Amino acid sequence: MRFNARISTLVSIIYAASTFVALITPPAFADVQFRDALDDSPLDLSPIKGEVFTDQVKKFHETGIDPYNGNADAIAIGKDLFENNCVACHEEGATGGMGPSLVDDVYTNARANTDLGKFEIIHSGASGAMRSFSKRGITQDQILHLIAYINSLKK
Protein backbone atom coordinates (compact mmCIF):
# COMPACT_ATOMS: atom_id res chain seq x y z
CA MET A 1 0.00 0.00 0.00
CA ARG A 2 2.73 2.47 0.98
CA PHE A 3 4.54 1.61 -2.19
CA ASN A 4 1.45 2.38 -4.30
CA ALA A 5 0.95 5.67 -2.50
CA ARG A 6 4.50 6.65 -3.31
CA ILE A 7 4.01 5.76 -6.95
CA SER A 8 0.90 7.85 -7.14
CA THR A 9 2.67 10.78 -5.47
CA LEU A 10 5.45 10.42 -7.99
CA VAL A 11 2.95 10.30 -10.83
CA SER A 12 1.27 13.48 -9.65
CA ILE A 13 4.62 15.23 -9.35
CA ILE A 14 5.55 14.23 -12.90
CA TYR A 15 2.12 15.30 -14.10
CA ALA A 16 2.38 18.69 -12.39
CA ALA A 17 5.88 19.19 -13.74
CA SER A 18 4.87 18.39 -17.30
CA THR A 19 1.87 20.74 -17.08
CA PHE A 20 4.24 23.45 -15.88
CA VAL A 21 6.64 22.83 -18.77
CA ALA A 22 3.73 22.93 -21.24
CA LEU A 23 2.64 26.26 -19.77
CA ILE A 24 6.04 27.93 -20.02
CA THR A 25 6.96 26.51 -23.45
CA PRO A 26 5.96 29.04 -26.12
CA PRO A 27 3.82 27.72 -29.01
CA ALA A 28 5.65 27.07 -32.29
CA PHE A 29 4.56 30.36 -33.88
CA ALA A 30 4.51 32.57 -30.84
CA ASP A 31 4.71 35.92 -32.61
CA VAL A 32 2.02 35.61 -35.25
CA GLN A 33 -1.38 33.99 -34.76
CA PHE A 34 -2.79 32.29 -37.85
CA ARG A 35 -6.56 31.86 -37.82
CA ASP A 36 -9.01 30.08 -40.05
CA ALA A 37 -10.91 32.71 -42.08
CA LEU A 38 -14.11 30.68 -41.75
CA ASP A 39 -14.42 30.15 -38.01
CA ASP A 40 -11.41 31.93 -36.47
CA SER A 41 -10.07 28.69 -35.01
CA PRO A 42 -6.26 28.28 -35.00
CA LEU A 43 -5.12 27.56 -38.55
CA ASP A 44 -3.41 24.22 -39.12
CA LEU A 45 -0.13 25.15 -40.82
CA SER A 46 1.10 21.59 -41.33
CA PRO A 47 2.65 21.10 -44.76
CA ILE A 48 0.47 19.44 -47.39
CA LYS A 49 1.61 16.19 -49.02
CA GLY A 50 5.10 16.58 -50.45
CA GLU A 51 5.43 20.21 -49.32
CA VAL A 52 8.78 21.35 -47.93
CA PHE A 53 8.72 24.79 -46.30
CA THR A 54 10.96 27.33 -48.02
CA ASP A 55 12.93 29.91 -46.01
CA GLN A 56 10.35 32.49 -47.11
CA VAL A 57 7.52 30.42 -45.62
CA LYS A 58 9.43 30.00 -42.35
CA LYS A 59 10.08 33.73 -42.22
CA PHE A 60 6.41 34.43 -42.93
CA HIS A 61 5.37 32.18 -40.03
CA GLU A 62 7.45 34.42 -37.77
CA THR A 63 6.58 37.85 -39.16
CA GLY A 64 3.26 37.60 -41.02
CA ILE A 65 4.81 39.75 -43.75
CA ASP A 66 5.25 38.31 -47.25
CA PRO A 67 9.01 38.23 -48.03
CA TYR A 68 8.21 38.11 -51.78
CA ASN A 69 6.58 41.56 -51.80
CA GLY A 70 8.22 43.70 -54.49
CA ASN A 71 10.25 40.78 -55.89
CA ALA A 72 9.69 40.86 -59.68
CA ASP A 73 10.45 37.15 -60.27
CA ALA A 74 8.12 36.08 -57.48
CA ILE A 75 5.40 38.42 -58.75
CA ALA A 76 5.64 36.87 -62.24
CA ILE A 77 5.22 33.37 -60.74
CA GLY A 78 2.30 34.65 -58.66
CA LYS A 79 0.66 36.07 -61.78
CA ASP A 80 0.81 32.64 -63.49
CA LEU A 81 -0.65 30.97 -60.41
CA PHE A 82 -3.38 33.59 -60.29
CA GLU A 83 -4.25 33.05 -63.94
CA ASN A 84 -4.48 29.31 -63.43
CA ASN A 85 -6.47 29.34 -60.19
CA CYS A 86 -8.22 32.61 -59.51
CA VAL A 87 -9.26 34.56 -62.64
CA ALA A 88 -12.44 32.51 -63.08
CA CYS A 89 -13.91 34.41 -60.14
CA HIS A 90 -11.67 37.43 -59.54
CA GLU A 91 -11.05 38.29 -63.24
CA GLU A 92 -7.86 39.27 -65.04
CA GLY A 93 -5.89 41.72 -62.93
CA ALA A 94 -8.06 40.78 -59.91
CA THR A 95 -10.53 43.58 -60.68
CA GLY A 96 -13.46 41.48 -59.48
CA GLY A 97 -16.25 39.38 -60.96
CA MET A 98 -18.08 36.71 -59.05
CA GLY A 99 -15.43 37.13 -56.35
CA PRO A 100 -14.63 40.61 -55.03
CA SER A 101 -12.01 42.96 -56.48
CA LEU A 102 -8.66 42.42 -54.79
CA VAL A 103 -7.22 45.72 -55.95
CA ASP A 104 -9.61 48.23 -54.39
CA ASP A 105 -9.74 49.24 -50.75
CA VAL A 106 -13.12 47.61 -50.11
CA TYR A 107 -12.84 44.15 -48.67
CA THR A 108 -15.51 41.57 -48.05
CA ASN A 109 -13.31 40.26 -45.25
CA ALA A 110 -11.65 42.92 -43.11
CA ARG A 111 -8.66 40.60 -42.70
CA ALA A 112 -7.90 40.85 -46.45
CA ASN A 113 -6.12 44.14 -45.68
CA THR A 114 -2.97 42.38 -44.51
CA ASP A 115 -0.65 39.72 -45.92
CA LEU A 116 -1.52 37.53 -42.96
CA GLY A 117 -5.27 37.88 -43.61
CA LYS A 118 -4.92 37.22 -47.34
CA PHE A 119 -2.89 34.15 -46.49
CA GLU A 120 -5.56 32.92 -44.08
CA ILE A 121 -8.30 33.40 -46.69
CA ILE A 122 -6.41 31.64 -49.48
CA HIS A 123 -5.21 28.87 -47.16
CA SER A 124 -8.44 28.12 -45.29
CA GLY A 125 -11.01 29.53 -47.70
CA ALA A 126 -13.59 32.22 -46.90
CA SER A 127 -17.33 31.89 -47.10
CA GLY A 128 -19.10 30.43 -50.10
CA ALA A 129 -17.26 29.96 -53.36
CA MET A 130 -13.84 30.97 -52.02
CA ARG A 131 -12.70 27.49 -51.02
CA SER A 132 -9.52 26.37 -49.29
CA PHE A 133 -6.63 26.31 -51.72
CA SER A 134 -4.35 24.37 -49.40
CA LYS A 135 -6.88 21.54 -49.65
CA ARG A 136 -6.49 21.77 -53.41
CA GLY A 137 -2.74 21.30 -53.47
CA ILE A 138 -1.51 24.92 -53.36
CA THR A 139 1.59 25.15 -51.13
CA GLN A 140 2.22 27.94 -48.62
CA ASP A 141 5.10 29.14 -50.79
CA GLN A 142 2.70 29.43 -53.74
CA ILE A 143 0.24 31.36 -51.57
CA LEU A 144 3.02 33.85 -50.78
CA HIS A 145 3.72 34.24 -54.52
CA LEU A 146 0.00 34.88 -55.12
CA ILE A 147 -0.09 37.52 -52.38
CA ALA A 148 3.01 39.28 -53.79
CA TYR A 149 1.24 39.41 -57.16
CA ILE A 150 -2.02 40.77 -55.66
CA ASN A 151 -0.08 43.38 -53.67
CA SER A 152 1.80 44.44 -56.81
CA LEU A 153 -1.51 45.36 -58.46
CA LYS A 154 -2.34 48.00 -55.89
CA LYS A 155 -1.37 51.50 -56.95
Kindly give, in sequence order, each residue whose CB lies less than 8 Å from that of residue 65, ignoring residues fewer than 6 positions away: 115, 116
Quick check: 41 and 106 in contact, CB under 8 A?
A: no
- Within 10 angstroms of residue 112's Cβ, the number of other Cβ atoms is 18
| Number of residues engaging ligand HEC in binding (CB under 6 A) | 23
Smallest distance from the beta carbon of 127 to ligand HEC, in angstroms?
4
Q: Which residues of 62-98 are buried (b: 16+ CB within 10 A; e: fewer)?
A: eebebbbeebeebbebbbebbeebbeeebbeebeeee
Instruction: Indicate the residue among 79 and 90 with the shorter CB distance to ligand HEC.
Output: 90
- The site map against ligand HEC for 88-107 (x = CB under 6 A) is xxx-------xxx-x----x
Quick check: 138 and 130 in contact, CB under 8 A?
A: no
Smallest distance from the beta carbon of 29 to ligand HEC, in angstroms?
21
Q: Which of 146, 148, 151, 152 binds ligand HEC (CB under 6 A)?
A: 146
Q: Which CA distances in Å does 151 have to 67, 98, 112, 137?
A: 12, 20, 11, 22
- The reply on whether position 112 binds ligand HEC by CB under 6 A is yes
Interface residues for ligand HEC in 121-140 (CB under 6 A)?
121-122, 126-130, 133
- The reply on whether position 145 binds ligand HEC by CB under 6 A is no
- The reply on whether position 85 binds ligand HEC by CB under 6 A is yes
Rounded Cα distance between 143 and 145, Å, is 5
- The reply on whether position 69 binds ligand HEC by CB under 6 A is no
Smallest distance from the beta carbon of 86 to ligand HEC, in angstroms?
3
The residue ranges that bind ligand HEC (CB under 6 A) are 85-86, 88-90, 98-100, 102, 107-109, 112, 118, 121-122, 126-130, 133, 146
